[in-house]
Amino acid sequence: MLHSSESNVRVEELLARVAGGDQDAFTGIYDALSGAVMGLVHRILRDAAQAEEVTQDVMIEVWRTAGRYDPERGTAKAWILTLAHRRAVDRVRTARASAEREQRTGILAPERAFDEVAEKVQDHDEQRRLRRCLAKLERHRRVPLMLAFYQGLTYIEVAAALSVPEGTVKSRMRAGLRELHACLEGQA
Amino acid sequence: MTTSKEDPHLAVGAYVLHALPPADEAAFENHLAGCEQCRREAGALLETAARWGGSTQTVAVTSQARARTLLAVAGTRQNGTPQRPRARGRRTVRPALAASVAAAVAFGGVAAWQHHESDDARARAARAEQRADTESSAIAGVLTAPDATVHTGELTDGTTAAVLVSRSQARAVFAARRLPALTGDRVYELWYAARSGNLRPAGLVPNASRSDFRVLKGSPVGSVAVGITIEPAGGSEQPTTQPLGVIPLTV
């Protein structure tokens, strides 16, 4: 459950209409969620122009594939943000691959701010809650989550970066997410 | 590398974080397909990850980016779902209307450029300077109007063009992706077409313009279509060439 259930119901209805080809409904979804999509994508890519492109790709994907959304499997907002995370991670991997080819790895190196829980931005409730829950995780669980979520590293890359066995990284990611889930539900 | 003795459930966290390499991801999705309990866990954790994503500070998109996306969507076919007639009626040129407007454009007469002869250079410069500001706030105004509608059509060269209309604001914005650059002293000119076939100049799109968006001159109220033609620099009072495209404003 996301924290603002009223606007979620609206997004759910709009997404069903988008699946039927309703452009006005798409405009409604765009206006409700493009800021959140752009925020997430920008946080991962740290580049406004690229973030804008990826945001557009995400929203067009929402339009194209709205019919695939299954309400049984989660909220519409979660579905859209999952698409956004996926696209941003794909983009950051492509960028990193080409940066490595060009021998300038500084910008996207995983060491950069990899454990930064604090955001230098204004808070809202959900952000505070999330941050509190992330901060509660033990560091060895939190760091793999952060590296994957914000830097787009695969578990294999995380394992290499932290010199931890790959299987251990996988189980820490799972345990960390479960703990985060429990913490968020407990405080909702 | 992963070992076979490992519990396949373990990958669920990495899966949800999009942190599995492609081969592992495909293998895990296979596993998911046959494991109800895993799908439930993946669902719950996906929701958590999405909630994490949704707690990121929002960043507003620019009105240009918004319009670009709405325009792109208007010309993008959806997967697996047949287009409903209502949607289709809006985004293709209705032949009868197009023909009547095209006829009106063709018989529109000869160029009359008097309206620009009185312009002195200073007034023109001042207007150009003002335009940058007022233009973008007018575009934003139309795009955020609750009654804004998008109407699209194809130009003769295959370019998609769209007109965004807000009747409550009595304003319309023309958008086209990469209009071909014109050679010589020619400009694109936009027209409002009334049901009667009368055409009203709705402003110029300068050749040098890199902007995809143009606020139309005057109100769309009473118009049933927007047309675009190529005219001599400075524009014409009535079209002098065949239209490149006509975009119906009716649903």
Over chain B (251 residues), the average pLDDT of each successive run of 10 is 65 96 92 90 94 93 86 78 37 33 31 29 50 65 75 77 84 80 84 82 74 81 87 86 80 53
Q: Would you call B24 helix, strand, or coil by DSSP? A: helix
Question: CATH 1.10.1740.10 spans which residues of chain A?
Answer: 1-106
Min Cα separation B46/chain A (Å): 7
ipTM of this predicted complex? Answer: 0.86
Contact B87 A21 (CB under 8 A): yes
Cβ contacts of A136 on chain B, cutoff 8 Å: none
Q: How far is CA A182 from CA A48, A175, B13, B57, B138, in A?
A: 33, 11, 14, 22, 47
% of chain A beyond a pLDDT of 90: 68
Q: Which residue of A has its CA nearest to B3?
A: A167
pTM of this structure: 0.61
Q: Which residues of B touch A15 (CB under 8 A)?
A: none
Q: Which of A89-93, A112-116, B70-74, B107-111 has the lowest mean pLDDT?
A: B107-111
Q: How many CB atoms lie within 10 A of CB B223?
A: 25
Is B10's CB within 8 Å of A84's CB? no
Query: Candidates 1.10.1740.10, 1.20.970.10, 1.10.600.10, 2.30.40.10; correct CATH number of A1-106?
Result: 1.10.1740.10
B18: closest chain A residue by CA: A86
Topology of domain A110-188 in CATH is: Arc Repressor Mutant, subunit A (1.10.10)
CATH 1.10.10.10: which residues of chain A? Answer: 110-188
B113: its two tokens: 């450029």
